[in-house]
């Protein structure tokens, strides 16, 4: 029994993926041990933040990094940092940035809700989001014309949540930023490659600790030393409301080390075999169809996508999804494409016996709909 069931909460089977609504990910014994030891002694926090930045940078290839409570905090603190440029009087008054250069340019199709609005994280840091172009179509010209003397930085969002078509690519947007001598930031919160965007020349990149890394709840921004020094100063300002504890930091550092040695190929192969199991079993259930799909952002994440047989006369996918969530344990799937009649299963968080339980429950639900 989990500690959550002990306090009277229902068990949940997570087929959604690394999502905040279900607690993102679970940590390994090693990460848990590092977090526990970290919590059991004192340290000078400023020194820990500097040292953590040094260590994180060995995994990203950047000049320096700043550890944060999550990727959202990394975004807010970085924007505050770029607006204040290390000036104490500005750190003290943020998020009030009236009269200062405070505009952050992003593409309209990148102005997403990942569980909270991207624009809120920009505003938390004192920034004003400037959305360039249209939701389905952004040109280099749109970005150029959105830049004014109040622009502080350009933000690119790499995510399956973004509109994937019609957007300006990283290289083009980065070139525009460099031409205007503006920092170029990439939100790569859920990405799995911690070197890629720094390698491409981005000035600052944001990552979430609990997603690909399966760390304690944490995040970081990695990039140019000067900018990172501005970010760290925010811990005496708005950063206080986004404090990461010493245990969270130690969990993150251990997770980074563990990730370097992870057998990615083996993990992908295991997930593919779970996807295949789900597809085969679901295809045997009358009324249901399933196929293997790959993540929209092109990551090595495979899922089983379930649809209804076009000839099926019973209920709709919405009802199946509600029935999955109503039972005990609750089964959560990815419902992003539910309006199109598609329900996706991410096998990565599934524990022993979970995939069999999902199939059993689907059989019961379809039987009851007859």
Q: Name the phi and psi angles at 367, rounded to 5.
A: -65, -45
Does 72 engage in binding with ligand PLP (CB under 6 A)?
yes
Does 187 engage in binding with ligand PLP (CB under 6 A)?
yes
Of 157 and 350, which has the nearer Cβ to ligand PLP?
157
Of 34-42, 54-62, 156-164, 272-280, the window that binds ligand PLP (rule: CB under 6 A) is 156-164
Nearest 5°: the CA angle 213, 219, 223 is 100
Does 214 engage in binding with ligand PLP (CB under 6 A)?
no
Give, as ranges, the residues between 130 and 149 that touch ligand PLP (CB under 6 A).
none
Of 244 and 343, which has the nearer Cβ to ligand PLP?
244
Residue 37, phi-psi category: left (phi > 0), alpha (psi -120 to 50), beta (remainder): alpha
Give, as ranges, the residues between 221 and 250 that touch ligand PLP (CB under 6 A).
none
Pairing mode, if any, of strands 302-308 and 288-294? antiparallel
Q: CB-hemisphere CA count at 13 Å for 114?
A: 26
Q: Which of 28, 37, 139, 159 binds ligand PLP (CB under 6 A)?
A: 159
Specify which residues 84 forms β-bridges with: none
Give, as ranges, the residues between 18 and 47 that touch ligand PLP (CB under 6 A).
20
Q: Which of 12, 34, 62, 71 binds ligand PLP (CB under 6 A)?
A: 71
Give, as ranges, the residues between 108 and 127 that touch ligand PLP (CB under 6 A).
114
Q: Name the phi and psi angles at 313, rounded to 5.
A: -105, -10
Helix residue ranges, H only, the chain? 3-6, 29-39, 45-60, 71-84, 88-93, 118-124, 140-146, 170-179, 196-200, 225-233, 246-260, 264-283, 317-326, 354-368
* Number of amino acids touching ligand PLP (CB under 6 A): 13
Q: Name the phi and psi angles at 300, rounded to 5.
A: -80, 55
Does 185 engage in binding with ligand PLP (CB under 6 A)?
no
Of 59-67, 174-182, 186-194, 346-354, the window that binds ligand PLP (rule: CB under 6 A) is 186-194
Q: How far is the CB of 148 from ligand PLP (least distance, A)?
A: 25
Residues 6+ apart with CB under 8 A from 365: 320, 323, 324
Q: How far is the CB of 87 from ligand PLP (least distance, A)?
A: 26
Does 204 engage in binding with ligand PLP (CB under 6 A)?
no
Contact residues toward ligand PLP (CB under 6 A) are 20, 70-72, 114, 157, 159, 161, 187, 189-190, 208, 219
């Amino acid at each position: 029994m989990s500690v959550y069931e002990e306090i009277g909460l229902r068990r949940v089977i997570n087929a959604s993926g690394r999502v905040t609504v279900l607690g993102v990910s679970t940590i390994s014994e090693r990460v848990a041990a590092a977090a526990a030891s970290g919590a059991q002694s004192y340290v000078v926090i400023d020194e820990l933040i500097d040292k953590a930045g040094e260590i994180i940078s060995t995994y990203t290839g950047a000049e320096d990094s700043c550890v944060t409570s999550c990727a959202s905090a990394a975004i807010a603190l970085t924007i505050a940092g770029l607006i204040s440029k290390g000036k104490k009087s500005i750190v003290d008054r943020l998020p009030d940035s009236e009269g200062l250069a405070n505009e952050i340019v992003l593409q309209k199709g990148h102005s997403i809700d990942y569980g909270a609005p991207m624009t809120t994280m920009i505003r938390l840091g004192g920034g004003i989001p400037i959305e360039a172009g249209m939701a389905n179509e952004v040109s280099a010209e749109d970005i150029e014309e959105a830049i004014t003397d109040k622009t502080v930085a350009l933000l690119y969002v790499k995510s399956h949540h973004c509109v994937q078509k019609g957007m300006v690519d990283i290289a083009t947007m980065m070139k525009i930023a460099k031409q205007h001598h503006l920092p170029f930031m990439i939100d790569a919160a859920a990405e799995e490659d911690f070197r890629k965007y720094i390698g491409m020349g981005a000035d600052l990149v944001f990552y979430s600790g609990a997603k690909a890394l399966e760390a304690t709840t944490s995040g970081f921004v990695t990039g140019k030393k000067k900018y990172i020094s501005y970010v760290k100063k925010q811990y005496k300002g708005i950063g206080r409301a986004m404090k990461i504890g010493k245990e969270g930091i130690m969990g993150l550092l251990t997770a980074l080390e563990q990730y370097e040695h992870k057998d990615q190929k083996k993990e992908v192969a295991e997930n593919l075999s779970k996807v295949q199991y789900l597809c085969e079993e679901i295809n045997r259930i009358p009324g249901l169809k399933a196929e293997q799909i790959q993540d929209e952002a092109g990551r090595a994440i495979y899922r089983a996508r379930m649809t209804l047989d076009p000839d099926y006369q019973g209920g709709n996918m919405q009802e199946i999804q509600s029935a999955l969530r109503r039972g005990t344990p609750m089964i959560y799937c990815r419902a992003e494409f539910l309006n199109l009649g598609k329900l996706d299963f991410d096998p990565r968080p599934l524990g022993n016996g979970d995939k069999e339980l999902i199939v059993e429950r689907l059989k019961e639900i379809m039987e009851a709909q007859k």
